[in-house]
Homo-oligomer: A and B are copies of this chain.
Amino acid sequence: MVGKAQNSSNCKDCNCKTSIFNYLTPFELELINHGRFQVNYRAGEIIFKQGTPSPHFVCVTSGLAKLYIEGYGKNLILALVKPVDYVFGPGIYVDNRHHYSASAVEDSTACLVDVNIFKKLIRENPDFADEFIKRVSLQAIFNFEQVISLTQKQMHGRIADALFYLSEKIYCANPFEMTISRQDLADISGMSKESAIRILKEFKEEGILTIDGGSIHITNPKQMRQISETG
């Protein structure tokens, strides 16, 4: 499902553009606009795969995507990416390969931008470079928290962290419609699907949350925070 950009004539007017683009001049935005692609993905489709070349910078403009490492028999979801956020793998400055895979969780659209244009702008526009490094740094900090959660907390704490992540960072709502699967929740939390389900059930029984179809409501965020912190 590939086609020329449709939902806006160019990057300058695109209200989907990620905020680091605010540091670009109109001329620089035009550079990015030139030759970019907009692509549509159905839920489940792979956007790019770990190990393949990464000639593009990917900006998710609608839907929801997941970034995941394909490990030993199971996946670890590093992050969910919603509009308007972008995916900039570390391979671009190293070996031009993707070091994790990305796929659409919901039907999604993304803009693909030639990575060389991006790198050129990094070199030419220090404000843009600073902002980019800041983004990469924020990602690293987030990863640190994630590693600690995964390696030092027990399952309850990890599920609590994942639910906060979904509620606060991804869906930005408290009763939220969970569009990811239980397997995805498990892959975020580094545990088996069955364990994730069981803990969800316990939280429900303890009155910490309610589940209504695909909708999850954290009714006792304070206690859930407690669970997150005590591991």
Please report A residues at the B interface, Cβ cutoff 8 Å.
69, 71-74, 76, 78, 90-94, 99-100, 119, 122-124, 126, 129-130, 132-134, 136-141, 143-144, 146-148, 150-153, 190, 231
Contacts and interface: CB of A to CB of B under 8 A. Distances in A.
A69 B123 contact: no
Copies of this protein in the complex: 2
Given A123-B129, A130-B123, A144-B99, A137 B93 contact: yes
25 contacts: A69-B148, A71-B151, A72-B153, A72-B231, A76-B147, A90-B137, A90-B140, A91-B141, A92-B137, A94-B137, A99-B140, A100-B144, A122-B126, A122-B133, A123-B130, A124-B126, A133-B133, A133-B136, A136-B137, A136-B140, A139-B140, A140-B140, A143-B143, A150-B150, A151-B190
